[in-house]
Structure formats: C-alpha cells, structure tokens
Structure 1
Amino acid sequence: MKLGFATTLALASALIVPATAIAQTTIGDLQRQNSVTISGEVVRVQGDDFILNDGTGQILVEAESRSIRQVNLRAGDRITVAGQYTDDNAFEALSLTPGSGEAIGEAIYVFDD
C-alpha cells in the first residue's frame, strides 16, 4: 500500500510523541481537526473573545472556559492557545498559556468528528 508523506509523518509522529501532545499549527494552516495549539500576539480583545495574530494570519479566539474568560488579556500579550478550529472560522480555546508559561483553563480534550 502506498502512503502519502502526510500519512507517513502522522504515523511516525504517533509512535514518537506522547498521546497527550497537541500539534502546533499556524493560523494560516488551520483546518477543522482534533485539538491543536496556536501561538501568537493578541491584537484586540472583544468581550470574552480576542483576535490572535501569528504572522501567517489572524483568527477570532472564543474563550470556552470560565477561567480563560477571567484572564485579563491585553493587546500585545504573547500567548499559546489549545483548542479546536470551528466551522465558523473561529478557534474555540480550551486552554491558554501566557508568556509566563503556566496553562490556564481546562484539560485538553480530543474531539471526535
């Protein structure tokens, strides 16, 4: 059976990376898939949500957990967000890690499509 590069890479990664690891993805490469992380700079805060820019694009990040909604984010903050890209071109954040390195939010879940 002939496997594509992406499939081969995914299989190899599954053998090397622990099951709890979440792939780092650029905003420009986001696709609806299981949990991923994105990192970048907060451009603007809009209520409980915010716009994140990673240099490849910008995306609306929706704070899905109460603890994330309570974080006092400001434009210019550099953060990493774990969650899922949605059908409405937004990103549902389940966990947020500010530049200080301590994760805020709930456990990371793997979503079944």
Structure 2
Amino acid sequence: MSRKILVLTLASAVVSAILLFVGTTVMGFFSPVSADSLPALVLGKRVTNDTALQAQSGADDTPTPTPFQPAPTETALPTATFSPQETPAQQPTPIPAVSLTIAQLLANPGAYLNQMVSLSGMVNVISRELFLLNDGTGQIVVDVEEDGVAGALSNGMTVTVVGRFDDYSKGGSYKIEACTVTDSSGKVWSNQCHNHDEDDDTSLTSTPHDDKDDDHKSTLQPTRTDDHDDDHDRSGKSTPKPTQSDDDHEDDGDHRNKDD
C-alpha cells in the first residue's frame, strides 16, 4: 500500500515538472519578454530619468560664469635704477664734423687738415692710446689722447670716431685726434678734444682783455708829477718867480705916479 503511494507521488511530481517546463516554453515562445528582463528595463528607465533630472537640476543650480576679476593689488612704484650703460653721467654735445671715408680723406688731406671729421670702421688696437681704424677703403691711426680709452676697445669692434684730422709725422702720414668714439651699441667714450684752431682763437681773444685790464689799471693810477708838485706845495717850498726886467720896473713906476 505504501509502495503504491510512493509511486503515485513520484509520478505526479514528474508530470508536474513536465507540465511546468512545457508551460514555460510555450509562454516564452508567445511573449519574448521574459520575467527576468523586467527589472533591468525598469532600472534602465530609472537611470535615464535620474540622469535627466540631474542634468536639469545641474543646469538650474550651476551659476552663470562671470569673468574673472583679480583683486586689486597695490603695485609698487618703479624705482629708478642707475647703471653706467643706461644712464651715462653726462652725454657729450654733438660735434659738427664732416662725414666721409678714409680714402676720400687721404686723397685730399690738405682740404681737411685741422678740421673735424667723422669716420666709421673696424678697430685694430695698437696701444692703450692708439688704434687703427679700417673702413674698407683705407686705414688711419686714431689717437684718443687719454690713457685707458683705447684699452676698453677690442679688435674687430665697429666704431664711429669724431675728431680732428692732423699730421701724424713729418713723413706725410696723418692721424685722427679723437673727441668721441661710439660703438655699435651706442656706448660713447668721450675725450678731451684739442682743437688747435680754437686754442689759437682763445689765445688771440685773451690778449685784448689783458690790454683792457692794463689800460684800466693805468687810468686808476694818479700821475706822479702832480704828487711831486703837491708835496712841494705842502712843504712850503714855492717855485721861484721869474725876474722882472727894467721895462717892467718902469711900468710899475708909471702906474704908481698915476695913482699918486
């Protein structure tokens, strides 16, 4: 009896399983959406809605960008810095000079002798006071007349020299007595410019002043003859009177008789 019940139970379980499997297969054939995919569809829709809501709320909550304005800061006033190159102690006044080449200068030296000329070329240092200036057409000696100025230059530098054209020796060579030497960067070496013409003019103009001073001094000094006469008068020594002649005595007598 018990065996029959066990067999029936197993048979019913197998039949139920077969029916469940057949029913599930039939439902999946007629409806493609399975029960397992429903939660995923709902979750995806929820994520989409959440994303849209976040985007909308983000657009509402995000402040409008404003241009960045830095806080005003106190800027210190620029302080003047002094350097030898930027602010030279004293700029030399421009010297009127004739600008020409060395070839033109040496072709007719008599026309430019003792005149101010301006030449440009490359430096070839000879000593601390002399250097050769070569402009491609020729070369000439430049005398800076001050110890150490040529030493500041170096071979190959391009400079502009303004100075007086002068004889260098009795052999017919010439030189430039430099007044200013300017390099390509604008740095200027100034020098005491000795112009013999100006020195001569100065010596000539100083002579009349000396004469005027001498004349002025001479007019202030009293003459010595008057002083001697005053001294004689003060001492009581009178000058001798001229002697009267006989005619003068007769005239005096006549005047006296008339008066009587």
Unpaired runs of 5+ in structure 2?
A: 1-93, 169-173, 201-260
Q: Secondary structure at the match of 1:29?
A: helix
TM-score by length of 2: 0.32
Contact preservation (8 Å) 1:81, 1:96: yes
- Note if contact 1:51-1:60 (Cα within 8 Å) is conserved in structure 2: yes
CA deviations on 1:34-66 (whole Å, 9 max, x unpaired) are 111110011x21112111101110111111245
SS of 1:86 mapped into structure 2: strand
1:87–1:110 Cα change, 3 Å? closer
Going from structure 1 to structure 2, the CA distance change for 1:108 and 1:101 (only over 3 Å counts) comes to farther
Paired residue for 1:41?
122
Equivalents in 1 of 2:161, 2:195: separation in Å?
14
Deviation at 1:33, TM superposition (A): 3.7
Distance 1:99 1:85 in 2: 22
Question: What is the CA–CA distance in structure 2 between the aligned matches of 1:81 and 1:28, rounded to whole Å?
Answer: 15
Does 2:187 correspond to 1:102?
yes
Over the aligned positions, Cα root-mean-square deviation in angstroms equals 2.4
Which amino acid in structure 1 is aligned with residue 118 of structure 2? T
Higher relative contact order (CA 8 A, sep 6+): 1
Answer whether contact 1:67 1:105 (CA < 8 A) is retained: no
Instruction: Classify the secondary structure of the residue corresponding to 2:149.
Output: helix
Out of 156, 160, 167, the residue aligned to residue 80 of structure 1 is 160
What count of residue pairs does the alignment treat as equivalent?
93
SS at match of 1:56: coil
Pairwise CA distance, 1:102: 2.9
Contact 1:26 1:54 in 2 (8 A): yes
Counting strand residues as a fraction of each chain, which structure ranks higher?
1
Structure in which a larger fraction of residues adopt helix: 2
Contact 1:85/1:91 (<8 A) preserved: yes
Could you tell me whether the CA contact under 8 Å between 2:144 and 2:191 is conserved in 1? no
TM-score, L = length of structure 1: 0.68
Distance in structure 2 (CA, Å) of the matches to 1:95 and 1:65: 11
Contact 1:65–1:105 under 8 Å retained in 2: no
Alignment of 1:1-113 (within 5 A): 20-30=95-105, 31=109, 32-42=113-123, 44-48=124-128, 49-66=130-147, 68-69=149-150, 71-88=151-168, 89-106=174-191, 112=197
Letter of the structure 1 residue corresponding to residue 136 of structure 2: G
Identity of matched residues, %:
34
Shift of 1:80: 0.3
Distance 1:65 1:94, change over 3 A: farther
Q: Any unmatched runs of 5+ in structure 1?
A: 1-18
Distance 1:97 1:67, change over 3 A: farther
TM-superposed deviation, 1:108: 5.9
